[in-house]
Amino acid sequence: MIMIPLHHILILSVLLFTTGVYVVISRKNAIHLLIGIELIFLSASMNFIAFSYHDPSLLQGQVFSLFIIIVAAAESSLVLAMLLQVVRHFRSIDIDKVNDPKE
Amino acid sequence: MNAYQISFYVFSFIILLCCIFIITTKNLLYAVFALLPVFLSASGIFILLNADFLAIAQIVIYVGGVVVLMIFGVMLTPPDGKKGFKVQLPSIHWRGIPTYIMMNGVLIYAVYTHFRQSAIDSHASNKSMITLKNLGAMLMTHYVLAFEIAGLLLLVVFIGVAYIGHKK
């Protein structure tokens, strides 16, 4: 029975995670940060599905992955609505300039 | 090496290329568009991993919703109060790339040493099974509380986005 080995899926998920972390810590544009966060969510979701794949009698990993997708969608829409207000207020989308709570 | 495995590695290669493109690109809109093949290939991998419903949900929510929302976000956030939108990014610091490679190396080493012998005995059957019925039954029995909380979360986010987003 030919299958995909578990560690190959985990290595792909590691690549997605490190890309997301690198984008989050190296970029200043807030929308680019959101891309990095989505990649991290995708990596976590892929990990759950990989472990669920090697345990086919239980679908717990897939249920968790479904909740991860729901939370990611909610988070992304909320962050974009907040970014609209931030841009209206600060006239900038650079997150290094959005650090004064008094303004 | 059959078609099943070859398609997994092809999807992985597409994801890897698009990840490198997202890191190195200088155009924000290109980075958002490079997210599309990442999500589509990820949903292909989900299908290969016996997660058919999640693949469909991935396409509907991410490709149909989140990426379009991000493109709207790019267009609705002008950089300095002027009309129009700016997509040019500063070029990346190449000094960060060794950190990226080392981070990859450490995590891949950890995965390789711990999961290669696969302490989890893989007894997955290769027959494709439809997960939708089992998934729905589990959501309505064991996970019904989490399911309801997720629905409540979506309602709260819906109201919150409508409140935050409108022009005061």
ipTM of the complex model: 0.90
Restricting to A residues 19-78, those with a Cβ less than 8 Å away from any Cβ of B are: 19, 21-23, 25-32, 34-35, 38-39, 42, 45-46, 49-56, 59-60, 62-63, 65-67, 69-74, 76-78
Q: Which residues pair with A29 in a beta bridge?
A: A94
By CB neighbour count within 10 A (0-12 exposed, 13-18 middle, 19+ buried), where does A24 fall? middle
CA distance A78 to B96: 30
CA distance B119 to B100: 29
Question: Tokens for B4?
Answer: 């099943």
Summarised one tens digit per residue, pLDDT across range A21-37 is 999 988 888 888 999 99
Q: Which residues pair with A94 in a beta bridge?
A: A29
What CA–CA distances, in Å, run from B138 to B83, B121, B135? 50, 24, 5
Q: Largest alpha-carbon pair distance within chain A?
A: 63
CA distance B81 to B67: 24
Does residue A1 fall inside a structural domain?
no
CA distance A72 to B66: 9
Restricting to B residues 95-154, those with a Cβ less than 8 Å away from any Cβ of A are: 96, 99-100, 103-104, 107-108, 111-112, 115-116, 118, 120, 122-126, 129, 131, 134-135, 138-139, 143, 146, 150, 153-154
Does residue A96 fall inside a structural domain?
no
What was the pLDDT predicted at A72? Answer: 92
Summarised one tens digit per residue, pLDDT across range B81-128 is 565 566 677 777 777 888 889 999 999 999 888 887 654 555 555 555
Record: contact B62-A38, CB cut-off 8 A: yes
What was the pLDDT predicted at B119? Answer: 47
A103 to chain B, any CB pair closer than 8 A? The answer is: no
What was the pLDDT predicted at A66? Answer: 92
Does residue A47 fall inside a structural domain?
yes
Q: Over range A38-63, report the average pLDDT.
A: 87
Does residue A18 fall inside a structural domain?
yes
The tally of domains found in chain A comes to 1
List of residues 6+ apart from A44 with CB closer than 8 A? A13, A17, A68
| Segments of chain B scoring below 50 in pLDDT | 119
CA distance B143 to B91: 46
What is the DSSP secondary-structure string of B40-72?
Answer: HHHHHHHHHTT-HHHHHHHIIIIIIIIHHHHHH
Radius of gyration of chain B (CA): 21
Does residue A103 fall inside a structural domain?
no
- B80-95 in b/e burial notation, b at 16+ Cβ within 10 A? eeeeeeebebeebeee
CATH number of the domain to which A45 belongs: 1.10.287.3510
Range of the domain at A79: 6-90
